[in-house]
Structure 1
Amino acid sequence: MQDFILTIIIAACGGFLLEQVNAPLPWTLGPIIAVSLTSMLLKRKLNWPLWLRNIALIPLGYSMGRPFTLETGQAILNQLPFMLLATCVTICAGIFSAWLMFRRTKINLTSCLLGCVPGGLSQMVILAAEMKDADLTAVTIMQTMRMLSVVFVIPFLAIHVLPSAGPSAHLMTIAHTGNLVIFALVAIAGAVIGKAVRLPTATLLGPLLATAVYIVASGHTAPVIPIHYLNVAQICVGSYIGSSIDLRKIREYNGMGPVLIGSVMLVLAVSMGMGILLSCLTPADIATTFLSTAPGGLAEMGITALVVGADSSTMTAYQLTRLLFIMLCYPYIVKQILKRQ
């Protein structure tokens, strides 16, 4: 209990400090920085309950699913070829960066392929645990560094560099209590069903899909969640990510740092290029397409989309396509590459 109280105080202070300096996503990045640095300085792991992070993802998933309409669903289906194209290009960039990592360090090719591909941290660590040749520690470090780079660089670019529609209405309008109770039950039911059918990031994706389906089926307009509740949810998500990062492990692999930074920059550049291309080929704006192709996690990119006013539904469809492709098909691709090598 003392660890939990200490973590939440540190996380809240980190979020408050970053908000004072107008940093991007202060209530997500602030807890990540504060908790991970404090853990390193104290030389012990700070804990944050997984169940609390899962609960915090429910309102974020609801907010991402709120703007979904029948027209939005049709537009997403029309963009399915572009989603597959963006997925393939991003994964190819990850494989190329893995080859560079393999050539420049003493880490084996299996670990490089799992560490450099832009999948989720937890998903890639699970895959690494299932492959006998993978170095679990190396994969964790590579995915952690990639995640840290993405959650700091992408929000900064999206908020301060790319043109956007401004802060989303989700973050500014007051909710109507009556309707919010109904939609809260829908979101919670979506999370439970998502966990039952083992959706990736079930407590985020389940409420998102359930909210979207209910809106289309009922024709009702979903109320928005007050910004203070979303800030608390972001603190919970950021605290969990920060508590999962062990910065002391970075020292264990000499020579990994420069190559890893270069590979992350390569994947980010490819994602930016794909975002610009998709903004020309589809009706979506550049902020939406960039977040759609960015090699980040669904939760982090979803929070950024809410802040900059990007199309959360389109972004989610692109990110989910890549995540599902990586989880379902990438292990087979890795095995084929290793067999040829």
Structure 2
Amino acid sequence: MQLLYTLLLAIIGGFALSLIHAPLPWTLGPILFLSVTAYYTGKQFVWSLKIRNAALILLGYGMGRPFTVDAGHAILEHLPLMLLATLATISAGLLAAWLMFRHTKINLTSCILGCVPGGLSQMVILADEIPDADLTAVTIMQTLRMLSVVFTIPFLAIHILPEGDAAAAAAAGSGHDVTGIITFAAVAVLGAFIGKIIHLPTAALLGPILSTAAFLVITGLTAPAVPTAFLNTAQVLVGAYIGSSINLRKISEYKGMGAALFAGVILVLLTSAGMALLLSNITNANLVTMFLSTAPGGLAEMGIVALVVHADTATMTAYQLTRLLFIMLIFPFIAKFIIRHVHIKKPI
């Protein structure tokens, strides 16, 4: 009964935010409605981890689906530049985390996970796996950071930067039969299963990304698109888990978060813009493509913008996926190393 009540509020939240055309309504809606309702009623909502993980498998497949052979070639060709862009963005995020740590009472672990641009769902899930992390603080920071990015980057890409080449826009295939759908579903589920066995971080999400991408590269097939209704449902199920985990009554403890977070977002955006300009000159790719490639947004959101402005989606996907994989595979070890070995005292 408690799960049904949580699900009902999550759906209402997603529907409400979709009516006002908010960014990522089916993720942010459940988070907003559940956390606010819990704040005013004092009731703590519950949600199933297994349901969340099932939804993550679908989202992982959706994130791995754009990875084509072209994207694989782009990764091999531009890998050093991709790593450079990734390191620059993460370094800016770590500097932003330092600023947040010095000007708030939030611990260093939470500041790092909240400021590094790894995507809302990924970083919140990662925070849930690290004992010292404050899930509420990380979720609030990542949500505010994501909202800033989702509103800012599309505006810059569409209205400020020159449009890309329409011929470079990738068109996804359609018309897959039931056998193809079942095959790719099995690949995604198998990826999650293997990811759990080998202890991948956030295996339910990263496993399907890797297995789907590998299957596409090996077979050369085109992955069937996920119906919008399915993606929205998955976002609701993940958003319900995040929203039920937030305790907004702790916000009063996060004095100074707003100003420090705003400064951090500006720092990361400026770093991304600088890297985009540099990479555009080095690779001769158009500026809007490189800006979307280095932008601290999610792969799905940047992919939508890339299609609208006719950017090179294969290059954009390669850069964004490289950053995602680096953050999911390597960054947890970097974060844990910093947390264990860098002992910093708060200013008195």
Aligned pairs for 1:78-97 (under 5 A) are 78-97=77-96
Structure 2: distance between partners of 1:317 and 1:241:
25
In structure 1, the partner of 2:142 is 147
In structure 1, the partner of 2:45 is 46
Alpha carbons 1:14, 1:30 under 8 Å: kept? yes
CA deviation vs aligned residue, 1:271-325 (integer Å, no higher than 9, x gap):
44434544554577767655654556xxxx2442454445445422222113333
Superposition CA RMSD, Å: 3.4
For 2:206, the aligned partner's letter is L
Alpha carbons 2:125, 2:202 under 8 Å: kept? no
Structure 1: distance between partners of 2:81 and 2:217:
24
Alpha-carbon offset, residue 151 of structure 1: 2.9
- From 320, 331, 337, the counterpart of 1:326: 331
Structure 1: distance between partners of 2:329 and 2:180:
33
Structure 2: distance between partners of 1:159 and 1:242:
26
CA deviation vs aligned residue, 1:7-44 (integer Å, no higher than 9, x gap):
22222122222222222222222222222222212222
Identity of aligned residues (%): 44
Higher mean Cα deviation, 110-119 or 17-26?
110-119
For 1:152, the aligned partner's letter is L
Structure 2: distance between partners of 1:110 and 1:229:
34
Higher mean Cα deviation, 35-44 or 269-278?
269-278
For 1:200, what is the secondary structure of its paired residue? coil
In structure 2, the partner of 1:235 is 236
5+ residue gaps, structure 2: 308-312
Aligned pairs for 1:241-260 (under 5 A) are 241-260=242-261
Alpha carbons 1:183, 1:211 under 8 Å: kept? yes
Alpha carbons 1:174, 1:225 under 8 Å: kept? no
Alpha-carbon offset, residue 181 of structure 1: 1.2
**TM-score normalised according to structure 1 size:** 0.80
For 1:24, the aligned partner's letter is P
Higher mean Cα deviation, 272-281 or 77-86?
272-281
In structure 2, the partner of 1:22 is 21
Instruction: Give the number of aligned pairs.
Output: 327
CA deviation vs aligned residue, 1:249-283 (integer Å, no higher than 9, x gap):
11024344433443344334434443454455457
For 2:223, what is the secondary structure of its paired residue? coil
Higher mean Cα deviation, 67-76 or 304-313?
304-313
Aligned pairs for 1:155-170 (under 5 A) are 155-163=150-158
In structure 2, the partner of 1:63 is 62
Alpha-carbon offset, residue 192 of structure 1: 0.8
**TM-score normalised according to structure 2 size:** 0.78
1:304 matched to 2:301: yes
Alpha carbons 1:32, 1:239 under 8 Å: kept? yes
Aligned pairs for 1:97-116 (under 5 A) are 97-105=96-104, 116=115
In structure 2, the partner of 1:182 is 183
For 1:7, what is the secondary structure of its paired residue? helix
Structure 1: distance between partners of 2:95 and 2:342:
12
For 1:89, the aligned partner's letter is A
In structure 2, the partner of 1:8 is 7
Alpha carbons 1:168, 1:306 under 8 Å: kept? no
For 1:145, the aligned partner's letter is I
Alpha carbons 1:110, 1:338 under 8 Å: kept? no
Structure 1: distance between partners of 2:111 and 2:259:
14
For 1:223, what is the secondary structure of its paired residue? coil
Structure 1: distance between partners of 2:110 and 2:4:
36
Higher mean Cα deviation, 117-126 or 89-98?
117-126
Alpha carbons 2:273, 2:291 under 8 Å: kept? yes
